[in-house]
Structure 1
Amino acid sequence: MDPVSAIALTLGVGWASGINLYAAMLALGLMGATGAMALPPDLQLLASPIVILAAGLMYAVEFVADKVPGVDSGWDALHTFVRIPAGALLAAGSAWSIDPSIGLAAGLVGGTLATAAHATKASTRLVINTSPEPFSNWGASIGEDIAVFAGLWAAVQHPWVFIVLMVAFIALVIWLLPKLFRVMGRIFRRIGRWLNGGPEPAPAAPAGPQSVRDPPNRP
């Protein structure tokens, strides 16, 4: 595997694992089993029929859970402890055969990308779930699944294109995450007030011209 392909695969497995780990494992396993790509030695286990079956089963479970508002946020919270370390391990495995030190560096990069992708997905879903209709949730979930499969295919078939898209994704995350965190903070404060039985704060009155002047100070 040439260096560009190794970099693209490292970035791809880390990013995809943060969004949908089971879809990423299923995609890599199927591409390896069908000969669409030559998996690195440390990732060839993903092409095992048992691993493909397990990844497919868990992907089916996540496919359903990810379409139910509220359940998807709980699923994301639980998978904080699964997607990030798995993304780091898969990224390390994609480059470990080149050199263990490169594999360790790849694991650090992959874990960071998995964290960024997971945080973006989880916070976006939490904001979307404030809407009562389920269609935006379904659209986001299906779009994420398509992005994982298409992104890993691009990382294997068109590594330079994928690397450029990943740089754009990182720039988007840097711009978007602070805004999402501020919205999430307002949501959590509103939930806290509701749980405590407190009233919602009244919206601030719009500023306007002062109708009554302050009386002059008298000596």
Structure 2
Amino acid sequence: MSTLTTTQLFAIAAALGWASGLRLYAVVLFTGAAGAMGWVDLPPGLKVLQNPLVLGASGLMLCIEFFADKIPGVDSLWDVIHTVIRIPAGAALAAGVFGADQATWSTVAALLGGTLAATSHVAKATTRAAVNTSPEPFSNIGLSLLGDAAVPAALWLSWTHPVAFFVALAIALVAMVTVTWMLAKFLRAVFRRIRSFFASRQANSA
């Protein structure tokens, strides 16, 4: 086990979980690369991320995701596919912070990481789906770039300033839950209008 304190370990676990809901492959690549370069001493449960094969695979997938996330429509499809990938991966990465030797803490971290991954993933998917109702691509690209920047910032903050990270995380969670709730109502209204439009078309053609 590394010399990290319990507070730091939980901050790292939370960051890995939350960020995985946004950019899973970036989380794997950045964390593994930081460990391989000696910038941080990864806990034993995360050292597999330093493997060159893992770094290469995550780097390739990050490149694909970077461009897919900038294309309206494609980004939402990518999010749907990754619903079954990001959440369990976020839980697994968070659990890896504590490793198999601390089963209780690993379980707690897995629950924390999975919940945070689910929260950020749902917020991202809902926001991008709402933005995709607009024909202009710039807001979509802007939100994607914001996500690109949020991941390394969160990971860095969790390693260097864990207390500040928890404060930022709390603010981000409140914002994400609020935005998800508001945009979910907006999307339901959009879908109702679409259904009404096609229903009226069918009635007129009958």
TM-score normalised per structure 1: 0.86
Deviations 1:133-166 (A, max 9, x none): 1111111101101100111111112211111101
Q: Distance in 1 between matches of 2:101 and 2:156?
A: 22
Q: Give CA deviations for 1:6-30 in whole Å, capped at 9, x if unaligned.
A: 0110110000000010011111011
CA–CA distance in 2 between the matches of 1:36 and 1:187? 47
Cα pair 1:40 1:97 within 8 Å, conserved? no
1:56 to 48, 59, 64: 59
Look up the equivalent residue of 1:19 and give its one-letter code.
L
Larger radius of gyration: 1
Q: Which amino acid aligns with 2:145?
A: I
Q: Secondary structure at the match of 2:136?
A: coil
Alignment of 1:119-198 (within 5 A): 119-194=122-197, 196-198=198-200
- Which has more helix, going by share of residues? 2
Give structure 1 stretches of 5+ with no counterpart: 200-219
Give the Cα–Cα distance (whole angstroms) in 2 for the partners of residues 198 and 62 of structure 1.
Answer: 39
Map of 1:13 onto structure 2? 16
Q: Specify the code of the residue in structure 2 equivalent to 1:193.
A: S
Three-state SS of the structure 2 residue aligned to 1:96 is: coil
Q: Give, in whole Å, the separation in 2 of the partners of 1:166 and 1:152.
A: 11
Counterpart contact for 1:127–1:184, Cα < 8 Å: yes
Tell me whether 1:117 sits opposite 2:125 in the alignment. Answer: no
Q: Which runs of 4+ in 1 moved over 6 A?
A: none
Identity over aligned pairs, percent: 44
Q: Does 1:81 align with 2:72?
A: no
Count how many residue pairs are aligned between Structure 1 and Structure 2. 198
Once the two structures are TM-superposed, the CA of residue 190 in structure 1 deviates from its matched residue by 2.8
Determine if contact 1:45/1:51 at 8 Å carries over to the other structure. Answer: yes
2:30 equivalent among 27, 34, 37 = 27
RMSD value, Cα: 1.3
**Which sections of structure 2, spanning at least 5 residues, go unmatched?**
202-206
Retained in 1: the 8 A contact 2:123–2:177?
Answer: no
